[in-house]
Chain A
Amino acid sequence: MAALGVAMLLLGPLGAVLWRAGGAGMPSPADWAALRFTVMQAALSAILSCGLAIPVARALARRRFAGRQALILLMGAPFILPVIVAIAGLLAIFGRNGLLNQGLALIGLERIDVFGLHGILLAHVFFNLPLAVRLLLEGWRGIPTERFRLAAQLDMPPGAMFRLIEWPMLRQRVPGILAVIFAVCLSSFAVVLILGGGPAATTVELAIYQAFSFDFDLGKAAVLSALQLGIVAGAAGLALVLARGRGMGGGLDRPVQRWDGGPWAARGDAAWIALTAVFIVTPLILVLVQGGATLLSMPLLVWQAAGVSILVALGSTLVAVPLAFALALPRRDVVEGVGLITLAASPLVLGTGMFLLIRPFAFPGNHVLVITSIVNAAMALPFVLRAISPELRAIEADYGRLADSLGMTGWARMRWLILPRLRRSLGFGAGLCAALSMGDLGVIALFPPPDAATLPLQIYRLMGSYQIEAAAGGSLLLTFLCFGLFFAFDRMGRDADT
């Protein structure tokens, strides 16, 4: 049912646009070039982010140090950072006047240029590496400590330990994470254009915008959007085929203790952790420094917009979390695939389609906040799903038979087995959803209401009126609110196991 609802939410608007266009339109050679580039950069971004996340997550999983919890919490931050804020933060380091180039100039080296494919990958890794680390850490946490204890008793060499204990878990989790990052990067628009440095870095989303706004070729916009959906559906399918494997087995939930890794491994882990921390934290600090002074002198409108945004974010969370739960519960691959492809839906086509569907009954401009909440919920759905679905499968695989034998079904099973064990992931998922919905400009840009605005829209309005300083302050406020919501939900999930 839930899957059907989501599919309708995606395909209904697409159909409406096609119907209005009176037929499909053929993509031009330039559109195909854009499609190839989009897929290429998304695939590279996914592989890089995930590949780097494995050693980082492994290091975090087997080391205990002061500030570890804080670092893990901060891992949620880059991903939910509003795009414009993140780009500013990255340019403050890697841009022409950025810290890196100032440092290079000091020691007499040539400046580096961040714009190009490497710039795109840098930004995408910045956004997605921490997300991948968080999702993988959940996987490591799912391995019962008894396994490591046994491995230590058998004096297992590190290679064997990886192969027998950690690899099966990775094999199960990594394809899904790759698919979700691929999908995120596929629909990435501003990052690719700004950091790509020119029209060679054109994405399908821009081609859709061009078809829609420039040529008013609705048929082509719909076809391009469908292509994008198809590619992500393919990636999701592939991920689900690859992500075979069983649960890690039950345990007594004792704290994880590990005995592997000599001094060299410890040094390696420390290096991975330190590098990641610097890479993630420096842009965040610079965002704070740049916007700090402007925070107190912002127009009232910015605060009002902040209030509106909080409501939109909570609304989205209220829609997305139960929906994701409903989609994950049947533990069926196809159903989860539906959840993933919402990521690839073009906001422009989705918004236009919804406009066409709603227009005969009501004036969409009057309901823009509700529409924004729902569309943002759909966009955040895949992340909530990725956070809770592997956990749910693991719970059923590891404890399902025990629960069956005890005759625990329905509400009792939910209350005593599923919810307590899922709480951490639910909190994380809800936090992601609230923060993403808060930070996303989304469809509201298509029907901006003159008398109200969400915070991201208000920031764009400030920027468009030369109010760059106030916009910087607004961005900082947005960042705080995104983190605040994320931390609050994430915390709620964590309190469960203390």
Chain B
Amino acid sequence: MKHLIYATGLVLATQAAAETPVLTIYTYDSFATEWGPGPQLETAFEEACGCDVNFVTVGDGAALLSRLRLEGESTEADIVLGLDTNLTAAAHETGLFAPHEVSADYDLPIEWTDDLFVPFDWGYFAFIGQDGAPQPANFRALAESDQRVLIQDPRSSTPGLGLLLWVKAAYGDEAPAIWEELSDNIVTVTPGWSEAYGMFLDGEGDLVLSYTTSPAYHIIAEDDATKVALPFEEGHYMQVEVAGMVAGTDQPELAKSFLDFLVSDTAQGVLPTTNWMYPAVSPEGGLPDGFDGLIEPSKALLLAPEEVAQTRNEALEEWRNALSR
């Protein structure tokens, strides 16, 4: 019986493959939901390629890399989409990715040289608050103020890790002191972005760690201009999201053309109002309206991918010690 099932599956799979090639893309959950960029990108790319795009989703960027490592070379992924520069060094080490050969006129605050990963969107981390409320202009001023801050846990959340590296990149050896001063401002540490942001909207804190682009969502989708991002003088830490082609893919041509598509005008135009991040290549029509009023940080902070692991462990230890008292 079992053999019959396998055989049937095999026959069906072969037939399907003979008809339309399937491009399997591993991504994080919110990318492929109804509100994320996934469905629009899928439709647009399928029109051009005559193929079938199949999204396979896991929780977040870190889980994405874990899944790939679990599967190793037997993975069915052709493309992995949604890692960020905090994960690319570890992703390089797996040896599971192939060079991309994509070239584009990137609109990033940093120079892009990674030969395995294509950046598709990016953003700055920032504290979001209510318009008209006090706006500390740096971490020290924030620590001295009585503003109540909601942050995410760096061990389980991408923005949480971003904040950890932000403080470390801006203050180096002084980072532990900054955390100690901040500790009485921190209301709580949530496991993920959603919990913190939800609590902020419920008035549980004055500020929440998110992205500089968050106010754009409230302006565009809710016509609400009362949420603002606070510009910090130290500069803002960045997140750059990337995609890469799996070396063992059975659809190398299709995968390459998808990566080209990802930095094309069509795809880049979809990202700002679905993923609420800046496009890696400015689309021809420019950015949507709500994006022009956003703050532009004076300085972009980003650790080199190969420094992340070492710095992260050190900073995590400091963070835990400072906040555990």
Residue of A nearest to B75 (CB): A359
Given contacts A193-B191, A356-B70, contact A214 B33 (CB under 8 A): no
**A463 at the B interface (CB under 8 A):** yes
Interface string of A27-56 (1 = CB under 8 A from B): 000100000000000000000000000000
List residues 188-224 of chain B with CB under 8 A from any CB of chain A: 188-195, 197-199, 201-205, 214, 217-218, 221
A259 to chain B minimum Cβ distance, whole angstroms, is 50
In the bound complex, do residue B29 and residue A461 qualify as a contact, i.e. CB atoms below 8 Å apart? yes
Residue on B nearest A209 in the bound complex, by CB: B156
**Are A115 and B187 touching (Cβ within 8 A)?**
yes
The reply to whether A198 and B189 form a contact with Cβ atoms under 8 Å apart is: yes
A115 touches B319 (CB 8 A): no
A456 to chain B, nearest CB (A): 12
Name the residue of chain B whose CB is nearest to the CB of A363.
B76
Closest to A96 in B: B204
| B35 contacts chain A at the CB level, 8 A cutoff | yes
Which among A144-152, A373-381, A466-474 touches the partner chain?
A466-474
With most chain A CB atoms within 10 A of its CB, the pick from B58, B74, B156, B319 is: B156
- Determine if A464 and B29 form an interchain contact, defined as CB atoms under 8 angstroms apart: yes
Closest B residue to A470 using CB positions: B35
Binary flags per residue of A197-239, CB closer than 8 Å to B gives 1, else 0? 1111000001001101110100000000000000000000000
B7 within 8 A of A: no
Contact A301 B29 (CB under 8 A): no
Are B59 and A96 touching (Cβ within 8 A)? Answer: no
Q: Confirm or deny: A272 has a beta carbon within 8 angstroms of a beta carbon on chain B.
A: no
B-chain residues with CB within 8 Å of residue A449 when the two chains form the complex:
57
Please, how many angstroms separate the alpha-carbon atoms of A333 and B214 in the complex?
55
Q: Do A190 and B191 touch (CB < 8 A)?
A: yes
Q: Which residues of chain B are near A271, meaning CB under 8 Å?
A: none
B56 at the interface (CB under 8 A from A): yes
Asked if A200 and B76 make an inter-chain contact with CB atoms under 8 angstroms apart, the answer reads: no
**B323, CB-defined interface residue at 8 Å:** yes
Distance from B219 Cβ to chain A, minimum over Cβ atoms (Å): 12
Residues of B within 8 A of A95 (CB): 202, 204
User: B219-270: which have CB < 8 Å to A?
Assistant: 221
Once the chains are docked, how many angstroms separate the CA of A460 from the CA of B32?
A: 13
Given contacts A198-B189, A465-B36, is CB(A214)–CB(B195) below 8 Å?
no
Stretch at the interface among A7-15, A71-79, A337-345, A440-448: A440-448
Instruction: Evaluate contact between B148 and A199: CB separation under 8 angstroms.
Output: no
Q: Is A308 an interface residue (CB 8 A)?
A: no
Looking at A115, A190, A299, A461, the one whose CB has the most chain B CB atoms below 10 A away is: A461
B54 to chain A: closest residue by CB? A450
B62 at the interface (CB under 8 A from A): yes
What's the least CB distance linking B281 to chain A, in Å?
Answer: 24
Q: Does B194 contact A460, Cβ atoms closer than 8 Å?
A: yes
Decide yes or no: A206 and B155 within 8 Å by CB, A193-B189, A468-B198 being known contacts: yes
* Contact (A463, B58) CB under 8 Å given A209-B156, A468-B201: no
Q: CB of B282 within 8 A of chain A?
A: no
Closest to A195 in B: B188
- How far is B76's CA from A471's CA once the two chains are assembled, in angstroms? 33
The tally of residues in B whose CB lies under 8 Å from a CB in A reads 57
Q: Which residues of B contact A466 (CB under 8 A)?
A: 197, 214, 217-218, 221, 276
| CB <8 Å contact, B319 and A194 | no
Choose one: A92, A196, A355, A445; the contact of B188 (CB below 8 Å): A196
Please, which residues of chain B bring their CB within 8 A of the CB of A193? 153, 188-191
Give chain A residues whose Cβ lies under 8 Å from the Cβ of B188.
115, 193-198
Within 8 Å CB of A359, what residues of B? 71, 74
Smallest Cβ-Cβ distance to A196: which chain B residue: B188
User: What separation, in Å, do the CA atoms of A199 and B190 have in the docked complex?
Assistant: 10
Q: Does A91 contact B (CB under 8 A)?
A: yes
Q: Is A346 an interface residue (CB 8 A)?
A: no
Q: Chain B residue with minimal CB distance to A97?
A: B203
Contact for A190 among B186, B195, B214, CB less than 8 A: B195
Partner of B319 from A92, A199, A210, A465 at Cβ < 8 Å: A199
A189 beta carbon closer than 8 Å to chain B: yes
How far is A47 from B45 in the complex, measured between Cα atoms in Å?
A: 58
Q: Which residue, of B59, B74, B317, has the highest number of chain A Cβ atoms within 10 A?
A: B59
Say yes or no: B189 contacts A450, CB within 8 Å.
Answer: no
The contact of B66 among A97, A194, A212, A445, by CB within 8 Å, is: A212
| B190 touching A194, Cβ below 8 Å | yes
A214–B276 contact, CB under 8 A? Answer: no
| Complex interface: chain A residues within 8 A of B38 (CB) | 450
A88 at the interface (CB under 8 A from B): yes
B30 part of interface (Cβ distance < 8 Å): yes
Q: Do B66 and A213 have beta carbons less than 8 Å apart? A: yes
Question: CB-nearest residue of chain A relative to B35?
Answer: A465
Q: Is the CB of B202 within 8 A of A91?
A: yes
| Inter-subunit contact B204/A301 (CB<8 Å) | no
A23 and B9 CA atoms in complex are apart in Å by 35
Which chain A residues numbered 64 to 119 have a C-beta less than 8 Å away from chain B? 84, 87-88, 91-92, 95-97, 115
Query: Is A389 close to B, CB under 8 A?
Result: no
Contact status A199-B324, CB under 8 Å: yes
When C-beta atoms are compared, the residue in chain B nearest to A466 turns out to be B217
- B108 at the A/B interface (Cβ < 8 Å)? no
- By a CB distance below 8 angstroms, the chain A residues around B58 are 446-448
Q: How far is the CB of B31 from chain A (nearest CB, A)?
A: 9
Beta-carbon contact of B320 and A199 below 8 Å: yes
B313's nearest neighbour on chain A, judged by CB, is: A215
Give B38 Cβ to nearest chain A Cβ, in Å: 7
Binary contact track B46-80/A, C-beta < 8 Å → 1, others 0? 00000000011111001101100111001010000
For the complex, give the distance between the alpha carbons of A359 and B202 in Å. Answer: 42
Closest to A33 in B: B324
27 A-B residue pairs with Cβ-Cβ distance under 8 Å, sorted by A, are A87-B195, A92-B202, A95-B202, A115-B187, A115-B188, A193-B190, A193-B191, A194-B190, A194-B191, A195-B188, A197-B186, A199-B320, A206-B156, A214-B62, A216-B69, A365-B56, A446-B63, A448-B58, A449-B57, A460-B194, A461-B33, A464-B29, A464-B192, A465-B36, A466-B214, A466-B221, A468-B198
Closest 9 CB pairs of A and B: A463-B194, A465-B35, A200-B324, A210-B155, A213-B62, A450-B32, A464-B30, A97-B203, A197-B188
> With contacts A212-B66, A450-B38 known, what are 15 further pairs, Cβ within 8 A?
A87-B195, A193-B189, A197-B187, A197-B189, A198-B323, A199-B153, A206-B191, A210-B155, A214-B62, A359-B74, A445-B29, A450-B32, A462-B35, A464-B192, A468-B201
